[in-house]
Amino acid sequence: MRRLLVKGHAVARLAASQARHERGRTVLVVLAIALAVLAVTLLASLGFGVMQTGEEQFDRAGQDVWISGESVELTATGGIENPITDAHGLAREVEERDDVESASPLAFHAVYVGTEPDDLELVTGVGVPGTGNTATGDGFSEGNSHYANGSYDGPMSQEIVIDPQTADLFDVGVGDTLYVGTSRADAPEREFEIVGLSGEYSQFLGTSTVTMPISELQELAGTTGTDRATFVTVTTADGADRDAVSEDIQRSHPEYHVRTSEDQFESMLGEYLLVLASGATLVALALLAGVALTTNTLVLVAVQQREELAALRALGLSRGLIAGVVGGQGFALGALGGALGLLATPLAAVALDRLAASAVGFENLLRTPPTVYAAGLLIAVGIGTLGAVVAGWRAARYARVDELGA
- List phi, psi (to 5°) of 44: -65, -40
Residue 290 confidence (pLDDT) above 70: no
What does the alpha-carbon distance between residue 181 and residue 110 come to, in Å, rounded to a whole number? 9
* DSSP E strand boundaries for 182-283: 191-197, 209-213, 231-236, 257-260
Give the model confidence (pLDDT) of 380-394 as tens digits.
Answer: 787 777 777 776 666
What does the alpha-carbon distance between residue 303 and residue 341 come to, in Å, rounded to a whole number? 28
Give the β-pairing of 209-213 and 119-128. parallel
Give the model confidence (pLDDT) of 14-38 as tens digits.
Answer: 545 555 555 666 787 788 888 888 8
What does the alpha-carbon distance between residue 12 and residue 310 come to, in Å, rounded to a whole number? 18
Q: Is the dihedral of CA 191, 197, 200, 205 positive or negative?
A: positive
Least confident of 42-46, 192-196, 240-244, 279-283: 279-283
Single out the residue of 188, 206, 167 nearest to residue 111, CA to CA: 188
Burial class (CB in 10 A: 0-12, 13-18, 19+), 176: middle
Give the model confidence (pLDDT) of 136-188 as tens digits.
Answer: 666 787 778 888 888 999 889 899 999 988 999 899 999 899 999 999 999 99
**Which amino acid, 250?**
Q
Return the pLDDT at 311: 66
What does the alpha-carbon distance between residue 308 and residue 339 come to, in Å, rounded to a whole number? 30
State the CB neighbour count (10 A cutoff) for residue 153.
Answer: 11
Give the model confidence (pLDDT) of 185-225 as tens digits.
Answer: 999 999 999 998 987 777 677 678 999 999 999 999 989 99
Residue 302 Cα distances to 34, 103, 289, 322, angstroms: 21, 70, 20, 10
